[in-house]
Amino acid sequence: MSFIARILACAALALGTVVFWSSVYAQTGPTIVPPSPRAGSPAPSVRRSTPVRPGLPTVAEIVVEGTQRIEPETVRSYMLIKEGDPIDPDRVNESLKGLFSTGLFSDVTFRLERDVLFVRVVENPIINRIAFEGDKELEEDTLRNEVQLRPRIVYTRTRVQNDVKRILDLYRRTGRFAASVEPKVVQLPQNRVDLIFEIEEGPLTGIRRISFIGNREFSDRSLREAIQTAETRWYRFLSSDDTYDPDRLTFDRELLRRHYLRNGYADFRVVSAVAELTPDRKDFFITFTIEEGKRYKFNALTIQSKIKDVKPEAIQPVIEIEAEDWYDSEAVDNTVLKLSNAVGDLGFAFVSVLPNVKRNRTKRTIDIKFVVQEGPRVFIERIDIGGNIRTLDKVIRREFQVVEGDAFSSTKLRRSRTRIQNLGYFSRVDVNNVPGSEADKTVIKVDVAEQSTGELSVGAGFSSQSGPLVDLRVRERNLLGKGQDLRASITIAAERQNFDLGFTEPYFLDKELSFGLDGFHTASSNVSEFEAISTGAGIRLGYRLTDNWSHRVRYTLRRDEITNVESDASKFIRAEEGTDFVSVVGHDLSYDRRNSRIEPTDGYFVKLSNDVAGLGGDISYLKSVLSGKYFYSIAQSWVVSTRAEIGHIEGFNDDGVRISDRFFLGGDKLRGFDNGGVGPRDTSTDDALGGKVVYSGTVELVFPLGLPKQFGVSGAIFTDAGSLTDLDFDDPVIVDTASLRWSAGFGVAWRSPFGPVRLDFAVPLIKEDFDETENIRFNFGTRF
């Protein structure tokens, strides 16, 4: 009950008591002194036995006045004093309190005339309608779910004030601390009211300044980068990190702790985190008071095994930390995980690795002994999944490598989390285990946060040969929450048009077997003086061999046509004009050790593809491509990636390999060169002829540009190299040097609110005089 409501209740109670005892005094004399009433006491549920003072008059009748909806007998039931009872002051006071505490009455007075006790009540009104005015940022349904009052409920000031507080708390959770709520009451006939909450939402309460006290080794700017809360700036209009959130502030304390422990400050602690509201209630000043402590280095790193068949020297190489390295708590956690996995791979399902830390404050060193021992035998009782609104439970559950009843394995649990993360459906995946119903059982809790899985990408580019290019792609990677993939793409350019449609069911027949259908139509003339039209369809079937190995087989039937050959085109192209049907059986064998398929920062990926044409159709060939990528993080947000690819095709027809089946090199795989800008060429017409052997590679470094992380802008420097060579025929007008081409350049990537944007600028460093170049490539897209 609010302070004002308590004052009003006490005043009414006191007034009723005074009026009543004045009437008693007029009849019996001043022999009774009533005690001071106290509002808010609960109504009596049973009649209490109160000692009766001798010589008091009795109540012959109780008359209830002023009731409208409530029956008089209901009023009498809330009273402790009954007909025939002596007029005892304690019972009268308790009866008065009981009537007020019901919340049904705004006023109650007692009046005694002779031996008749008159009880006059004023009923609280009934709420007819609840309305909200001024709510623009929050949906009305959200507000209705927050308040406790409802239509046809008794109106009381206390309940209204409580709902006002709830609405204000709701706005504060959304960052609007300047919000105000004024309840208005509209009187209606039959003791009914309309309750209107007039809301002044006010602006978002921002963060005017974030300060740090006690930091000597790190500047305020670097610490602001380490936390999630950010100072209010105009460019953060699509982010909520610059609005005050007490829960986020608590998380910032943890982020600061992680930052210092990652950099060797093992004694670090946050003394306080204070948020002060400015006098105009528009912004907050946030101040973190910290104690950095001393910086420590690793010293001795040893392993003690309490498992008989696990020798410390066998798993010692797992420890990648070296003595004299600065202490890093994340490195310790990663080592514990790697040791657990290494012992688990030896066949021990129940393993516990405990790091015993010994700190030498004088030398500022830390010794760590990793104790490997058998953990308690624990089995999985059940797997609980939460946070998935659109995605079906079975889509997540089928990625687990354990089921209910299996022995608990941290290794399998980690792999399961990676598999769920690699789906690309969730921005956050938390997999934890909590105690089960018994000591030897555990419950796995999965909490996910869904992200956009629909993609709408628009690409634009400029080529010195092809001119402007527009590419539209639509894809839904989690169709109807079932994990199915549906995609469609259209490319329109001056010299290229493409349409592609594909569908993939990742768990065909509820087995770990992916099934896909594809259809396509391509018309291209951007590599030489002819138009290549290809129309066809395909079917795919893929499966996992192990956690890292996967295999896919596919069949494609297509109709290829070489047409619209220019009169001045190369004679080798004119000779291939016509239509062929191609039947291709192929497979892809992949080995994937990346830490993430979405945004890898560590690990590698290798893929071997073979296509055989000739099982039906007009064309026969064997085409093989071996490719790989490697990622390595040299520092936080600094990632080096390398790519290599080599391909070869050999034809079994008398005419060799057609131009539409040969490799072409340039564009994305060899920036600085046009599509088809490298390789064998007819010098008499300057037409690219493609080649049977191709290789290319890339080394790229992605790094932050020093801008606030909220910008999402990163830079890249890269170098590409490669070559294309070999034809089935030779002629004096054909140049085929097989020489290495090399380019270098830089790029800028921006994770914009509308999707990823990438701009690359490349310059050829080694090229041939007949090569075609391209310097600028631009792409952007969005997701839905």
pLDDT bin (cut points 50, 70, 90) of residue 559 is very high
Alpha carbons 203 and 193: distance in angstroms, whole number: 31
Q: How long a stretch of residues is the chain?
A: 784
pLDDT at 215 over 80: yes
Taking residues 643-670, what's their average pLDDT?
90
pLDDT at 769 over 50: yes
Question: For residues 322 and 298, is the Cβ–Cβ distance under 8 A?
Answer: yes
Q: What is the DSSP string of 120-172?
A: EEEEPPEEEEEEEES--SS-HHHHHHH----TTSB--HHHHHHHHHHHHHHHH
pLDDT of res. 541: 95
Q: What is the DSSP string of 46-113?
A: S----PPPTT--B-SEEEEES-SSS-HHHHHHT-S--TTSB--HHHHHHHHHHHHHTSSEEEEEEEEE
CA angle 708, 711, 715 (to 5 degrees): 90
Alpha-carbon 727 to chain mean position: 51
pLDDT of res. 552: 95
The candidate with the shortest Cα–Cα distance to 698, out of 762, 750, 751, is 762
pLDDT at 36 over 50: no
Q: Which residues pair with 9 in a beta bridge?
A: none
pLDDT bin (cut points 50, 70, 90) of residue 514 is very high
pLDDT at 466 over 60: no
Structure tokens, 248: 């986020």
Question: For residues 255 and 232, is the Cβ–Cβ distance under 8 A?
Answer: no
pTM: 0.59
pLDDT at 363 over 60: yes
Strands (DSSP E) found in 364-466: 365-374, 379-386, 426-435, 441-450, 454-463
The helix (H) or strand (E) run that includes residue 573 is helix 571-574
pLDDT of res. 51: 52
180-200 pLDDT, tens per residue? Answer: 899 999 988 888 899 999 999
pLDDT of res. 543: 92
The candidate with the shortest Cα–Cα distance to 92, out of 8, 13, 11, is 13
Alpha carbons 293 and 342: distance in angstroms, whole number: 34
**Four-CA torsion 160, 161, 165, 171, nearest 10 degrees:** 50
pLDDT of res. 411: 73
The helix (H) or strand (E) run that includes residue 534 is strand 531-544
Q: How far is CA 669 from CA 73, 458, 537, 749, in A?
A: 90, 20, 26, 17
pLDDT of res. 755: 61
pLDDT of res. 37: 39
Q: 591 burial class (0-12, 13-18, 19+ CB within 10 angstroms)?
A: middle
pLDDT of res. 3: 47
Alpha carbons 193 and 598: distance in angstroms, whole number: 57
pLDDT of res. 352: 83
Q: Is 451 left (phi over 0), alpha (psi -120 to 50) or beta?
A: beta
Alpha carbons 605 and 423: distance in angstroms, whole number: 17
Three-state SS for 640? strand
Question: For residues 12 and 6, is the Cβ–Cβ distance under 8 A?
Answer: no
Q: Is 29 left (phi over 0), alpha (psi -120 to 50) or beta?
A: left
Mean residue pLDDT across the chain: 84
User: What are the backbone dihedrals phi and psi of residue 376, each rounded to the nearest 5 degrees, phi first?
Assistant: -65, 145
pLDDT of res. 464: 42
pLDDT bin (cut points 50, 70, 90) of residue 232 is confident
pLDDT of res. 42: 41
SS3 content of the chain, % helix, strand, coil (to 5): 20, 45, 35
pLDDT bin (cut points 50, 70, 90) of residue 43 is very low
pLDDT of res. 550: 93
Alpha carbons 624 and 611: distance in angstroms, whole number: 6
410-427 pLDDT, tens per residue? Answer: 778 888 888 898 888 888
Question: For residues 723 and 741, is the Cβ–Cβ distance under 8 A?
Answer: yes
Taking residues 290-314, what's their average pLDDT?
90
pLDDT of res. 699: 97
Taking residues 453-469, what's their average pLDDT?
60
pLDDT at 174 over 70: yes
pLDDT of res. 269: 93
Q: 553 burial class (0-12, 13-18, 19+ CB within 10 angstroms)?
A: middle
Exposure b/e, 454-489, CB count within 10 A at least 16 = b: ebbbebebebebbeebebebebbbbbebebbbbbeb
Question: For residues 481 and 389, is the Cβ–Cβ distance under 8 A?
Answer: no
574-596 pLDDT, tens per residue? Answer: 888 889 999 999 999 999 998 88
The helix (H) or strand (E) run that includes residue 493 is strand 484-493
Q: Which residues contact 365 (CB under 8 A, 6 or more apart)?
A: 296, 297, 298, 299, 359
The helix (H) or strand (E) run that includes residue 650 is strand 638-651
Question: For residues 79 and 99, is the Cβ–Cβ distance under 8 A?
Answer: yes
Taking residues 440-465, what's their average pLDDT?
75
Q: Which of 106 and 237 is assigned the larger pLDDT?
A: 106
pLDDT at 11 over 80: no
CA angle 604, 605, 610 (to 5 degrees): 155
pLDDT at 10 over 60: no
pLDDT of res. 460: 58
pLDDT at 24 over 80: no
Residue 584: how many other CB atoms lie within 10 Å: 22
123-159 pLDDT, tens per residue? Answer: 888 899 999 998 888 888 889 888 989 898 888 888 8
The candidate with the shortest Cα–Cα distance to 759, out of 704, 721, 720, 713, is 713
- Tell me the H-state helices in 214-262: 220-226, 246-262
525-552 pLDDT, tens per residue? Answer: 655 567 788 999 999 999 988 878 999 9
User: What are the backbone dihedrals phi and psi of residue 731, each rounded to the nearest 5 degrees, phi first?
Assistant: -160, 150
Taking residues 430-457, what's their average pLDDT?
86
pLDDT bin (cut points 50, 70, 90) of residue 494 is low
pLDDT at 39 over 70: no
674-710 pLDDT, tens per residue? Answer: 888 899 998 888 888 899 999 999 999 999 887 777 6
Question: For residues 130 and 151, is the Cβ–Cβ distance under 8 A?
Answer: yes
Alpha carbons 252 and 15: distance in angstroms, whole number: 54
Taking residues 373-390, what's their average pLDDT?
86
pLDDT bin (cut points 50, 70, 90) of residue 523 is confident
pLDDT bin (cut points 50, 70, 90) of residue 237 is low
The pairing of beta strand 206-213 with beta strand 638-651: unpaired
User: What are the backbone dihedrals phi and psi of residue 153, each rounded to the nearest 5 degrees, phi first?
Assistant: -105, 150
Alpha carbons 20 and 31: distance in angstroms, whole number: 14
Q: Which of 68 and 268 is assigned the larger pLDDT?
A: 268
pLDDT of res. 281: 78
C-alpha count within 13 angstroms, C-beta hemisphere, residue 190 = 6
Three-state SS for 3? helix
pLDDT of res. 164: 93
Question: For residues 736 and 725, is the Cβ–Cβ distance under 8 A?
Answer: yes
Structure tokens, 581: 């049907």
**% of residues, the chain, pLDDT over 90:** 34
**% of residues, the chain, pLDDT over 70:** 88
